[in-house]
């Protein structure tokens, strides 16, 4: 777990070419690719490892994201002990929630 409740703890690349991204980060950076078999029906997801530790994930950019004009990009996730309370607090402070809290089976809750 992160050292503080506001530490970045996971990074994810949303890309239009998953195979090329996997090859680049494997061949050039030296990360080891490991397919993540999540819940049935989940799109292909690759966990990138340094040694035995997962450091990032790679996924195809969802159509709804691509349609907004957002280019492929890295996204950082910030740890919180209570996703729902943090999301509510963000809204009350005038922040924008781009994805409501949801569960990733076998992983945890995120927003």
Tell me 29's DSSP state: S
Domain with CATH 3.10.180.10 in the chain: 8-79
User: What residue has token string 């950019």?
Assistant: 61
Per-residue pLDDT of the chain (111 residues; tens, 9 = 90+): 445 556 888 999 999 999 999 999 999 999 999 999 876 778 899 999 999 999 999 999 989 889 999 999 999 988 888 999 999 999 999 999 988 999 987 788 888
Instruction: Count CB neighbours of 45 within 10 A.
Output: 17
pTM, to two decimals: 0.79
Q: Domain 8-79, what fold?
A: 2,3-Dihydroxybiphenyl 1,2-Dioxygenase; domain 1 (3.10.180)
| CA dihedral for 72, 76, 82, 85, sign (positive or negative) | negative
């Amino acid at each position: 777990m992160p050292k503080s409740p506001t530490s970045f703890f996971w990074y994810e690349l949303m890309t239009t070419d998953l195979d090329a991204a996997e090859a680049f980060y494997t061949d050039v950076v030296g990360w080891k690719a490991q397919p993540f078999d999540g819940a049935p029906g989940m799109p292909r997801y690759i966990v990138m490892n340094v040694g035995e530790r997962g450091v990032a994930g790679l996924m195809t950019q969802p159509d709804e994201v691509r349609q907004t004009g957002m280019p492929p990009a890295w996204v950082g996730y910030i740890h919180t002990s209570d996703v729902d309370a943090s999301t509510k607090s963000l809204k009350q402070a005038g922040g924008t929630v781009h994805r409501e809290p949801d569960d990733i089976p076998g992983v945890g809750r995120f927003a």
